[in-house]
């Protein structure tokens, strides 16, 4: 075997291992690292916001109602809202997959999709 052949085999092996690692990482990124807050109004999707970006977003509706959403350090909360009961504003911040903040009067649901799981299946209200 020539020296070049050995180089070639090495390159092929490295390429193959690299490819497998790349695919694993790619899969994982798509599975869970993409935690985001999905906002729906009356069942219609309004917007999606990644948890890894700090933002403050005013969710406004045609009828003038609004909920002020804040994402900070991966946690989502409603800072202000036009609804009368303020249950969404009083709600603790959410972070884990499947957690929701609901504003019944404004028909707004903020749900965490993807990301870490917190081991709770449901909660009484």
Partner 1 sequence: MKKWKNALIAAVAIVVVSAVALYLNQLKTNRQPKLTKYTATFLDIFDTRTEILGYAETKEEFSEQAALLKERLVFYNKLYDIYNDYEDVANIKTINDNAGIAPVSVDPEIIELIDFSKRMYEETDGRVNIAMGAVLSIWHEYREYGSENPESATLPKIEELQEAAKHTNIEDVIIDRDAGTVFLADPEMSLDVGSTGKGYAVQRVMEYAREQGLSHVLLSLGGNISGIDGRIDGTNFKLAIQNPDLNSNEEYIEMVEITDGQCVVSSGDYQRFYVVDGEVYCHIINPDTLFPANTFAAVSLITDDSGEADAFSTAIYNMTLEEGLAFVNSREGLEAMWVYHDGSKVYSDHFEESIVE
Distance CA 10, CA 30 (A): 30
- Residue 67 in contact with residue 81, Cβ under 8 Å? yes
What 3-state class would DSSP assign to 49?
A: strand
Residues with Cβ within 8 Å of 73's Cβ and at least 6 positions away in sequence, in order, are 54
Residue choice 47, 82, 96, 107 for contact with partner 1 (CB under 8 A): 107
Contact flags string 3-42 toward partner 1, x per CB under 8 A: -xx--x--xx--xx--xx--xx--x--------------x
Residues making up the chain, counted from first to last: 125
Q: Does 122 bind partner 1 (CB under 8 A)?
A: yes
Residues at the site binding partner 1, with contacts judged by CB under 8 A? 4-5, 8, 11-12, 15-16, 19-20, 23-24, 27, 42-43, 84-85, 87, 90, 92, 98, 100, 102, 104, 107, 109, 111, 119-125
């Amino acid at each position: 075997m020539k020296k070049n052949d050995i180089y070639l085999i090495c390159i092929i092996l490295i390429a193959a291992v690299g490819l497998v690692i790349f695919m694993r990482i790619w899969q994982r990124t798509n599975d869970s690292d993409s935690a985001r807050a999905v906002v729906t109004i009356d069942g219609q999707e309004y917007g999606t916001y990644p948890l890894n970006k700090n933002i403050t977003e005013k969710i406004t509706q045609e009828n003038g109602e609004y909920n002020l959403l804040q994402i900070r350090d991966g946690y989502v909360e409603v800072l202000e809202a036009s609804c009368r009961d303020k249950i969404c504003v009083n709600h603790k911040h959410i972070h884990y997959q499947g957690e929701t903040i609901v504003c019944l009067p404004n028909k707004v649901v903020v749900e965490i999709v993807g990301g870490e799981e917190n081991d709770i299946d449901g909660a009484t209200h």
